């Protein structure tokens, strides 16, 4: 398991004069994440750009950690189908290419649309001998060069931004342990998006209706990263990076790192005397929920409601207060979960706090998650939009548009082809959510990677055979049965529940009824909610993890097996509830 620095922008760029035929202009635009402002090189036929160096990424890898890999992202575009192209790309330090460094430029055409090119990866060292000292150096970075062939004069090569992410040895594993000494090492990555209203009764997932359209509201997305040591990639509005932190062995519950334009504070629901002091100024926080948009798949999303602070957390009343009064309208926040005996806290997600109410007793903020706003035009055929017409091909295209990397290793072996033409302009993330759900897949986004997973596939296991592992009253819920799944002209009619309802999907994304039986099985599946103490569940959530529960309080001792789809963190009552579809059988 590797920790990582998160994707970081460079602090310095340099057009190295005399190293090519053409110089770069507007160099500093490559330091900010914007497509509308870019560095560019105006090429003529058969000429090269100067070397363009991007470095000073402000990485803070702990000393002595083994470097596991380096990933870079280049957001680039050219002007035509043929040229210009990325000619060279190396890692550098002190203005020199690192010894033996692999060139990952390889003459890749830039294309005429913005595209985020990912080079290297979590286990790719670029054939270099890297150390934490080298990576932390302010001169460590990227050197790239573009080339224009014999096709056209006056074509631009453009670079909107570049980012680097270094993966390094994680000496701490996120280990949870119960009172009986049972423990498990966790490796979890989860992504969801903000959505309100899925939770009505405290269960992790409680679909009340068989109508997918009523459930679908997935305009925002976030990155959730659970169960490993995290380097916070969070950057304040003044562009200063928030420092990664370790927390010490003691303490528990919610740790909230909050940043304004100029200040950074550690807050919690109680004073936590850790390696950093976390001030107990949070008087309340709504449950943090990660949920799947439908019972048969979709985008795993996060909602977090409100956070309430004591008023003296603002106005400079204490040294731990934000100096601003009135309280800042927006704050950047990282939500973390900590359990005693675990040295590092677990990062749940990042978000934006938007001021909702100022009162004499509390200052209330709503929690928002950053969003993906890219759209697919009206009239687009999903069969021809990706280069390969399968579900995986579709998500590959989604990742191109959203600037993400696709991990489809847990997708179905034979993903279905798509057949649908959009009638309106739609958000990419919304369409992706519906397509995934229709094809009985779920997906989440973490650190720039979109993970696509078939609902049928397991993703690790967790055994709760010890009755000290979880709280009383797991719930086993059957929704109103579905007899027939209908999607446009396709349908699947089951035989088990002739008294059941229709489950109508307004769009048939495959154009046939090949997926409908799988949807039928999932919507009729038993839903299981298991409450557990924070100390067991913190960091346990990973989509698809197969959880086995021995329940000896039922009339007949039984074993439940479920695939985890949802989680609710209730920090005020120190309880976590996981939920998912599964089965219940007599032992």
Partner 1 sequence: MKVISGDTILSVSLFSGTANVSYPVDNVLNEYPRKPFKATGSAATIRIAESGDGEAVAMFAANADSVTITSVVGTSVLVGDDESGEDIELGDDESGFTLTLCDTGEEPEELVYQYVKENENNGVIWMPISPSGYQRTLDFVCTVNAGHVEIGIIATGPVMTLREMERQTYQEGPVDYSIDLELQSGNFYRVDLGRSRQIPVSVYMWAGDGDDPGGDFTTYFDFYNDLVFPSGKAPKAWLLSESLDPARYALWGRFEVMPKLANWRSGFGIMSTLIREIN
Chain positions contacting partner 1, by CB under 8 A: 179, 252, 270-271, 273, 275-277, 279, 318-320, 466-472, 474, 533-535, 551-553, 573-575
The 3-state DSSP class for residue 390 equals coil
> In the complex, what is the shortest distance from the CB of residue 305 to partner 1, in angstroms, rounded to a whole number?
20
How many beta carbons lie within 10 A of that of residue 587, not counting itself? 10
Rounded CA gap, 209 and 206, in Å? 9
Task: Please say which residue, 519 or 530, places its beta carbon nearer to partner 1.
Answer: 530
Contact between 47 and 20 (Cβ < 8 Å): yes
Query: Please, which residue, 90 or 571, has the CB nearer to partner 1?
Result: 571
Euclidean distance between CA atoms 22 and 49, whole angstroms: 5
> Are the beta carbons of 282 and 365 closer than 8 angstroms?
no
Calculated CA dihedral for residues 319, 322, 327, 330, nearest 10 degrees: -160
Instruction: Give the DSSP letter of residue 433.
Output: H
User: Cβ 271 to partner 1, closest distance in Å?
Assistant: 4
Q: How far is the CB of 6 from partner 1 (least distance, A)?
A: 23
Q: Nearer to partner 1 by C-beta: 20 or 253?
A: 253
Closest CA to 499 of 519, 483, 487: 483
**CB closer to partner 1 out of 62 and 511:** 62
Dist CA 291 CA 79 (whole Å): 41
Question: Of 195 and 269, which CB lies nearer to partner 1 in the complex structure?
Answer: 269
Tokens of 192: 């969801």
Q: How far is the CB of 579 from partner 1 (least distance, A)?
A: 16
Q: Give dist(CA 153, CA 42) in Å, integer.
A: 9
Q: How far is CA 7 from CA 2, 70, 166, in A?
A: 14, 10, 8
Query: CA 193, CA 168: separation in Å to the nearest integer?
Result: 27
CB 416 within 8 A of CB 439: yes
CA-only gyration radius of the chain, Å: 25
Least spacing, CB of residue 345 vs partner 1, in Å: 15
In the complex with partner 1, which residue's Cβ is closer, 243 or 423? 243
Residue 6 CA to residue 4 CA, distance in Å, equals 6
CB of 394 to partner 1, least distance (A): 43
Quick one: 245 or 433, whose CB is closer to partner 1? 245
Exposure of 356 in the CB half-sphere (CA atoms within 13 A)? 13
Q: Say if residues 428 and 400 touch (Cβ distance below 8 Å).
A: no
Q: How far is the CB of 576 from partner 1 (least distance, A)?
A: 11
Dihedrals φ, ψ of 481, to 5°?
-65, 155
State the minimum distance, in angstroms, from the CB of residue 468 to partner 1.
5
Tokens of 555: 């009339």
CA–CA gap between residue 293 and residue 565 (Å, rounded): 10
What phi, psi does 398 have (nearest 5°)?
-55, -45
Measured from the CB of residue 479, what is the shortest distance to partner 1 in angstroms? Answer: 24
The residue among 387 and 472 lying less far from partner 1, judged by its C-beta, is 472
Query: In this complex, which beta carbon is closest to partner 1, that of residue 484 or of residue 575?
Result: 575
Least distance to partner 1 from the beta carbon of 267, Å? 13
Nearer to partner 1, 281 or 485 (CB): 281
For partner 1, which is the closer residue by CB, 109 or 477? 477
Closest CB 341 distance from partner 1, rounded Å: 13
Q: What is the rounded end-to-end Cα distance, in angstroms, of the chain? A: 35
Phi, psi dihedral angles at 141 (to 5 degrees)? 180, -145
């Amino acid at each position: 398991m590797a920790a990582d620095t998160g994707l970081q922008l460079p602090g310095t760029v340099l057009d190295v004069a005399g190293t090519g035929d053409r110089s770069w202009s507007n160099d500093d635009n490559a330091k900010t994440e914007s497509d509308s402002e870019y560095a560019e090189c105006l090429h003529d036929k058969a000429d090269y750009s100067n070397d363009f160096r991007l470095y000073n990424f402000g990485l803070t890898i702990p000393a002595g950690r083994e470097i596991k890999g380096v990933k870079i992202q280049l957001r680039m575009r050219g002007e035509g189908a043929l040229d210009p192209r990325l000619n060279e790309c190396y890692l550098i330090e002190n203005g020199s290419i690192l010894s033996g460094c692999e060139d990952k430029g390889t003459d890749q055409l830039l294309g005429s649309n913005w595209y985020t090119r990912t080079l290297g990866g979590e286990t790719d060292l670029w054939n270099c001998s890297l150390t934490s000292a080298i990576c932390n150096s302010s001169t460590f970075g990227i050197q790239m060069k573009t080339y224009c062939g014999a096709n056209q004069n006056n074509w631009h090569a453009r670079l909107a931004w570049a980012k680097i992410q270094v993966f390094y040895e994680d000496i701490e594993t996120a280990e949870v342990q119960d009172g009986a000494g049972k423990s498990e090492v966790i490796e979890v990555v989860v992504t969801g998006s903000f959505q309100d209203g899925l939770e009505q009764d405290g269960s992790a997932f409680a679909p009340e209706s068989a109508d997918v359209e009523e459930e679908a509201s997935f305009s925002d997305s976030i990155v959730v990263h659970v169960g490993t040591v995290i380097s916070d990639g969070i950057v304040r509005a003044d562009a200063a990076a928030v420092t990664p932190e370790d927390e010490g062995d003691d303490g528990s519950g919610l740790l909230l790192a909050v940043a304004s334009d100029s200040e950074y504070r550690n807050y919690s629901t109680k004073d936590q005397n850790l390696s950093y002091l976390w001030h107990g100024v949070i008087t309340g926080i709504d449950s943090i929920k990660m949920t799947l948009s439908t019972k048969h798949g979709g985008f795993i999303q996060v909602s977090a409601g409100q956070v309430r602070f004591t008023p003296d957390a603002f106005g400079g009343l204490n040294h731990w207060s934000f100096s601003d009064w009135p309280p800042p309208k927006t704050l950047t926040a990282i939500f973390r979960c900590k359990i005693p005996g675990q040295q590092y806290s677990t990062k749940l997600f990042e978000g934006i706090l938007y001021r909702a109410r100022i009162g004499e007793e509390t200052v209330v903020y709503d929690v928002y998650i950053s969003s993906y706003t890219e759209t697919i035009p009206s009239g687009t055929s999903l069969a021809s939009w990706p280069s390969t017409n399968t579900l995986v091909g579709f998500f590959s295209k989604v990742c191109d548009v959203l600037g993400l990397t696709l991990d489809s290793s847990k997708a179905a072996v034979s993903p279905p082809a798509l057949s649908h033409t959009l009638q309106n302009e739609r958000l990419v993330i919304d369409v992706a959510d519906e397509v995934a759900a229709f094809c009985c897949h779920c997906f989440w986004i973490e650190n720039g990677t979109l993970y696509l997973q078939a609902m049928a596939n397991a993703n690790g296991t967790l055994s709760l055979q010890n009755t000290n592992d979880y709280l009383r009253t797991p719930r086993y819920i059957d929704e109103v049965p579905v007899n027939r799944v209908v999607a446009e002209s396709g349908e699947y009619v089951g035989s088990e529940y002739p008294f059941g309802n229709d489950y109508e999907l307004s769009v048939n994304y495959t154009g046939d009824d090949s997926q409908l039986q799988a949807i039928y099985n999932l919507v009729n599946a038993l839903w299981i909610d298991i409450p557990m103490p924070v100390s067991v569940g913190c960091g346990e959530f990973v989509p698809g993890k197969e959880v086995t529960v021995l329940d000896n309080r039922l009339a007949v001792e039984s074993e439940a097996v479920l695939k985890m789809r949802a989680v609710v963190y209730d920090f005020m009552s120190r309880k976590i509830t996981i939920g998912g579809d599964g089965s219940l059988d007599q032992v």
